[in-house]
Amino acid sequence: MNLFDLTGKKSVVTGGSRGLGRGIAEGLHEAGAEVVIIGSSDEVFTTAEEMNKTGSKVYAVKGDLGDRGQITDIFNQAIGILGTVDILVNNAGIQSLHKSEEFPLDVWDKVLQINLTTTFQLCQLAGKIMLERGSGKIINVASMNCFVTAQKIIAYVASKSAVGQITKALANEWGGRGVNINAIAPGYFDTTLTSFIHQDSEREKLIESRIPMERWGTPNDLKGAAIFLASDASAYVNGIVLPVDGGYLSR
């Protein structure tokens, strides 16, 4: 038996049209799962079309995960396509750069809504299905900022740290009822969220010098962790926050 085989599994990936979310969605797809990717722009349809050229089916749902009133409808659209959900990946996230003493509260609210509250709401919605069935996998995308922090991203740090903690709390409540909930904590990955760092060559070099693998991560580097946490290979893994950081936290 291939413990990493996801053939026949139904999965939902938020923020799956690009960056880390696309890498995760591609990994699940390559392992055999059907995938619904959720995104806020028409890019989600293009991504689904590109991924659909091989393997299992990939579908797209467009919606604003920052609007609390849309979350249930967006989720129900995904379930309407798949029929159920075996794997939920909460990847959608944003950040905003401001000095802490000047951080606008409306921006704080927006970051926490998408990064934290939407994640919890989708955990609730998928959890109800999984708990009734007695099985399921939820993967929340947290951040290395669960363990270390940085300047001017206090809302992001707060939200992602909380994602790590709700992952553990849900694992405590649901683990004995057949649902595994874990988180991935990416380090420095080359995505649109980190593009501002590349504008500061001195900081970029400093970060890379601390990474033992001597490079930034790419979306492909998350595939293995996602497949592991989504598959039977992690049947007895619950409530962890797994760093995928090239060794950054070891220094």
AA identity, residue 68? R
Closest CA to 97 of 22, 13, 199: 199
Provide the 3-class DSSP secondary structure of residue 137: strand
Residue in 59, 156, 188, 248 annotated catalytic:
156
Distance CA 21, CA 219 (A): 8
Note if 59 is an active site residue.
Answer: no
DSSP string spanning 67-83?
A: -GGGHHHHHHHHHHHHS
Distance CA 150, CA 161 (A): 13
Contact status, residue 24 vs residue 1, Cβ threshold 8 Å: no
Please state whether beta strands 58-62 and 87-90 pair in parallel, antiparallel, or not at all (unpaired): unpaired
Return the structure tokens found at 53. 């050229």
Return the structure tokens found at 127. 């959890």
> Which residues are catalytic, by number?
156
